[in-house]
């Protein structure tokens, strides 16, 4: 993929990138090698906490779409994290 083909970098891209990282740490999606790694709950929790900090620090400064994306991602990741913890 060339630089011209890369999606634009914006708030949504940041949230989705962190979400993808958390999902990889939860063992929910495949890595670049096509394999799912074993869950790494401490790293998943850390990434979720980064999103929580982002949520806290951006309150009142996001568009409606950005707020919905961030809250939806956090909701889903928290559920998956709780499931992974057993």
pTM of the model: 0.87
Question: Is residue 6 in a domain?
Answer: no
Question: Is residue 51 in a domain?
Answer: yes
Question: Is residue 34 in a domain?
Answer: yes
Treating both helix axes as pointing N-terminal to C-terminal, what angle do 41-57 and 64-85 enclose, rounded to 10 degrees?
A: 150
Taken as a whole, the chain contains a residue count of: 86
Question: Is residue 26 in a domain?
Answer: yes
Q: Which residues contact 81 (CB under 8 A, 6 or more apart)?
A: 22, 26, 41, 44, 45, 48
User: Domain of 68?
Assistant: 11-85
Question: Is residue 3 in a domain?
Answer: no
**Least-confidence region, from 6-10, 47-51, 67-71, 74-78:** 6-10
Question: Is residue 54 in a domain?
Answer: yes
- Tell me: the pLDDT tens digits for 2-52? 667 887 899 999 999 999 999 999 999 987 888 888 999 999 999 999 999
Q: What total of structural domains would you count in the chain?
A: 1
Question: Is residue 71 in a domain?
Answer: yes
């Amino acid at each position: 993929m060339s630089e011209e083909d890369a999606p634009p970098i914006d708030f949504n891209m940041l949230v989705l990138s962190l979400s993808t990282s958390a999902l990889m740490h939860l063992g929910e999606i495949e890595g670049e090698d096509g394999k799912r790694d074993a869950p790494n709950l401490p790293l998943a929790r850390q990434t979720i906490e980064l999103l929580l900090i982002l949520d806290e620090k951006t309150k009142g400064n996001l568009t409606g779409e950005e707020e919905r994306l961030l809250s939806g991602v956090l909701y889903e990741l928290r559920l998956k994290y709780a499931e992974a913890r057993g």
